[in-house]
Structure 1
Amino acid sequence: MPDREARSPWSKNNDKATVEVMPPGKPVEGTLRLSGSKSLTNRALITAALAEGTSRLEGILKSDDSYWCMNSLTKLGIRVHLVGETVWVEGCAGSWPMSSGDLYVGSAGTVARFLPGALAIGRGRWNLTGSKRMSERPLLPLLDALSKLGARIEDKKVNRTLPFAIETSGLRGGDISLPGSTSSQFISGLLLAAPYTKEPLTIFIDGGIVQRDYVEMTLEMMRTFGIHAQFSDDGHSISIHTGKYQAQSIQLEPDVSTCCYFWSIAAMTGGRIRIEGIRAATRQPDIEFLTVLERMGCRVIRGDHFIEVAGSRQLRGGFTLSMQKWSDQTLTIAAMAVFADGPVTLTDAAHIRQHECDRIAAICSELRKLGIHVEEHYDGLTVYPGRPEPALLDSHDDHRMAMALSLIGLRAEGIRIMDPGCVSKTCPDYFERLSDLGIPIEIYAK
């Protein structure tokens, strides 16, 4: 069942039951600009809140996740002024104006993992809660690390998930270990707070990092705000000196994860989609999706300030991909693989079973409803090409499930998806944007 409590005032279609995506009957072409990256938006918001001075962040993503981040910062006493897609954040220089309160993070994994460390550098007590699904997602490595550094965590679950209370009078610093295989967000959450520990902090990472690019994005954001930290030569530790972030004026680049759905539209229809304001040199790991599109027969133009994808008559398959570094596109490629000329196997994505839903099990279940042959593996799946049958599909209250499944409707009749409002987590106007591109969309109340 959808967890509508986690939807923000920026969400759309919460009162709608299903959406039907229908084949456009011709190649889809268009040029568009998308809002800023979800990952960069919440990193920038929290860093700006901890900085000295007032920061100006342009091109933020107005979605559920960023709403709950701004809502929490406001409850902490931070002045946040939003006009359109530009926000001014008056930083607290590492000392939160409020010392206690209740904070709700919705279903935002970035907020649930980034905020505890930021809270722990101050003095006070806060109660954190989230959506039903967010309350099932693990926080154990991060909360254990904060406890070892001096924070007091009160929770009622053995595996340390939301809800919990955090009481603190600052973090000590020194040496601390975190696993790299569970979620890069634990490392990023501690990194964002690290400049404000009482002594310099060194984070030792056990094993490889499941999505290192996201940690690099955090380090780059920290450098933008004046704090320099980097990996050791062997890649197993990061040392951060104490200091204070300095307010900045920055432009956030579009969300590449969302761009991928629109580039897929070009691939699926033999059309052309250009997205402005994005460069191939971005740190966002999902940019690797472009190489897959090329492998599947698409033409990609990487401009200085745009990227354009032109589709082909037939998508190519017959390959295996590791999704470890850019797992958000596992579902997207799975949907496209239905129309390829050979099976596609996706591996190294076991961690996405712990996201908004068990994404591997969910996409396999929905593809089977369409009559598509799919094999589920512990860390991925194999999709065999087929002709989808009409079906009502479950989005599993997962924005990425809904957007990936919508792509199937570009080539198959009778594709209806439950709970279209769930896309508000990252792209509230997704279905409206599809309609603007000439794709027939019908949204049903019942």
Structure 2
Amino acid sequence: MKLRLTGPLNTLLKTDIRITGSKSETNRSLLLQGLFPNISIENLSNSDDAQVMQKGLKIKNGLVDIHHAGTAMRFLTGYFASQEGIDVILTGSQRMTERPIKVLVDALRELGADIDYENVEGYPPIRIKGKKLSKGKVSLPADISSQYISSLLLIAPSLQNGLELELIGKITSVPYIKMTLGLLERIGVSTSFEENMIRVFPKRAIEPTELIVESDWSSASYFYSVIALAEVGSEISLSAYKKDSLQGDSVLANIYGDFGVSTEYRDHCIILKKVANCQLQKVDYRLDNAPDIAQTIAVTCFALGIGCHLTGLHTLKIKETDRLEAMKTELLKFGADISVSDKDLTLKPSKIWSDHQIEVDTYNDHRMAMAFGPLAMKTSFYVNNAEVVSKSYPDFWKDLEKLKFVVQEV
């Protein structure tokens, strides 16, 4: 699907938008529900990733295809490996077969798992024969994707002796690790996280528990971007959010304060207000703990005509696409002065080329499509394969229309 995207004629905005549950929190909760069926879950994400996770958890034998869902790939690898009687081949899209899984597989094998590679060593598809994992100690590099770490932590209470997980080196994804531990504690599992050692204690059974999934802060980022580009006085209410969020991307509330956007917490909502125009020439952010908002911030800065230096982005190279190179390619189409390395992005102040015929390619990456959406506040353009937003936020284009963006299929 190709869309023509044009921003609202009136850039003084005011509307209410409801965003479904966090994809990250949903998939963690679903895995815990697979281990402890007396867990109930409210406000599930309506994303593709959540749907394939739900389907995958029901399969005991045969092929499990999770398409583009990286979270499901990592989480289901741990889940299947720890469940006696399961015999599956876990695979996904072409891009998924290029995303490494070796670190997680090696750790699970160390715990006693039976996992083999079907094609290329270190990459999906993988054959998993579930069994009782008897060992309870393992180590991982601390600077890898938190999804590998969380996959082990989530299955830990079902292991005979729980798990002692040592992280070697500097930890780069603390909020996502704490999200996982926080969910474990909500269902009554004891945990500890001291320096580089994480312990999760075994739990044979839990009391009936309801988990309420907070709405997705990554999805909120696009509306922070819209408000940053809107007129002073604009206001968007987003639900349902809380101040003591488990999600690392909630740092948005602090970052976008630099762009003149205030955040007010009220009755399970956040109220975003444009209170001032940005007076900065350049911003610097280290995003080890929130790499998924890097694309949004880069587009916001470009649209505001300011520079940015974003670091701590090493995990973006192995996402749905190489997000750093993809951002460089697409922003260059609009006249950006941008450079990237394997772990950072640098943007110099530059003016937008407004020829209205530019086509943004999305690389099967939902965040590429959505990060560029707010740029329509400044210039019209086309978005190729716009349906990719369904991976995490199927209603994204409809919600932009609530803000009077013109979204036309062509």
Shorter-chain TM-score range: over 0.9
- 1:128 aligns with one of 74, 90, 94: 90
Matched, 1:248 2:209: yes
Q: Tell whether 2:124 aligns with 1:167.
A: no
How do residues 410-425 of structure 1 correspond to structure 2 at under 5 angstroms? 410-412=377-379, 414-425=380-391
Q: Tell me the CA shift for residue 24 of structure 1.
A: 3.3
The answer on 1:64 being equivalent to 2:31 is no
| 2:48–2:390 CA contact under 8 A, matched in 1 | yes
User: 1:302-351: CA deviations, max 9, x gaps?
Assistant: 33522111125633341211011111110000001113353111111121
1:25 aligns with 2:10: yes
Q: Distance in 1 between matches of 2:321 and 2:211?
A: 33
CA offset at residue 157 of structure 1?
A: 4.8
Deviations 1:34-55 (A, max 9, x none): 10000111111110111053x3
Output the amino acid matched with 2:409: I
**1:45 matched to which residue of 2?**
30
Select which of 60, 64, 73 maps to 1:103: 64
1:358-369 mapped onto 2 (5 Å cutoff): 358-369=322-333
Name whichever of 150-159 and 357-366 sits farther off.
Answer: 150-159
What is the CA–CA distance in structure 2 between the aligned matches of 1:211 and 1:19, rounded to whole Å?
Answer: 36
Q: Does 1:401 align with 2:386?
A: no
Letter matched to residue 92 of structure 2:
G
Secondary structure of the corresponding residue to residue 177 of structure 1: strand
**Residues 1:325 and 2:289 are matched in the alignment:** yes
**Partner residue, 1:392:** 359
Aligned counterparts of 2:276 and 2:78: Cα–Cα separation in 1: 50
Name the stretch that deviates more: 138-147 or 387-396. 387-396
8 Å Cα contact 1:35/1:255 also seen in 2: yes
1:378 paired with 2:362, answer: no
The Cα RMSD (Å) is: 1.7
Q: Please tell me whether the aligned partners of residues 298 and 309 of structure 1 are also in contact (alpha carbons under 8 angstroms).
A: yes
Q: Closer, same or farther in 2 for the Cα pair 1:382/1:312, shift >3 Å?
A: farther
What does residue 269 of structure 2 align with?
306
**1:110, 1:355 → 2: CA distance?**
10
CA displacement at 1:195 relative to structure 2? 1.5
Residue pair 1:339, 1:385 contacting (<8 A) in 2 also: no
**Alignment partners' CA distance in 2, 1:157 and 1:292:** 43
Given that 1:139 and 1:159 are in contact with CA atoms closer than 8 Å, whether structure 2 keeps it comes out as no
Work out the CA distance in 2 between the residues paired with 1:152 and 1:75: 17
Q: What is the letter of the counterpart of residue 95 of structure 2?
A: R
Runs of 4+ in 1 over 4 A off after TM superposition: none
In 1: Cα distance, 2:142 partner to 2:121 partner: 17
What percent identity do the matched residue pairs reach? Answer: 29
Letter of the aligned partner of 2:112 in structure 1? G
Where 1:249 maps in the other structure, the secondary structure is strand
From the superposition, tell whether residues 341 and 104 of structure 1 become closer, same or farther in structure 2 (CA, over 3 Å). closer
Give deviations 1:424-443, integer Å, cap 9, x for gaps.
00111100111122111112
Q: Which residue, 249, 259, 270 being the options, matches 1:286? A: 249
Q: TM-score, normalised by structure 2?
A: 0.93
5+ residue gaps, structure 1, are: 1-15, 77-99
Deviations 1:150-190 (A, max 9, x none): 11111045542210101232111221111121111111101
Cα 1:236–1:417, aligned 2, differ >3 Å: closer, same or farther?
Answer: same
1:67-112 deviation line (CA, Å, top 9, x unaligned): 1011112224xxxxxxxxxxxxxxxxxxxxxxx2221112111111
* C-alpha distance in structure 2 between counterparts of 1:195 and 1:43, whole Å: 13
Name the residue aligned to 2:57. Answer: 73
- Listed one character per residue, the Cα deviations across residues 88-142 of structure 1 (whole Å, up to 9, x for unaligned) are xxxxxxxxxxxx2221112111111111221122223211111111111111111
Q: Residue 13 of structure 1 corresponds to which residue in structure 2?
A: none
Q: Which amino acid aligns with 1:350?
A: H
Q: 1:39 to 1:176 in 2, by over 3 A?
A: same
Q: 1:164 to 1:42 in 2, by over 3 A?
A: same
Residue of structure 2 aligned with 1:238, choices 199, 219, 229: 199
**For residue 7 of structure 1, what is the aligned residue in structure 2?**
none
State how far apart, in whole Å, the 1-side matches of 2:389 and 2:221 are.
Answer: 14
The verdict on how the C-alpha distance between 1:244 and 1:107 changes in structure 2, with shifts beyond 3 A counting, is farther
| 1:141 counterpart residue number | 103
**What is the alpha-carbon distance in structure 2 between the residues aligned to residue 178 and residue 68 of structure 1?**
27
Counterpart check, 1:335 vs 2:299: yes
CA drift of 1:63 comes to 1.1
Equivalent position SS for 2:130: strand
State the one-letter code of the partner of 1:170.
K
Alpha-carbon distance in 2 for matches of 1:49, 1:200: 17
**Counterparts of 1:32 and 1:22 in 2: how far apart (Å)?**
17
Give the structure-1-normalised TM-score.
Answer: 0.86
Give the superposition deviation at 1:246.
Answer: 4.2
Q: Size of the alignment, in residue pairs? A: 403
Between the aligned partners of 1:369 and 1:259, the Cα distance in structure 2 is 26
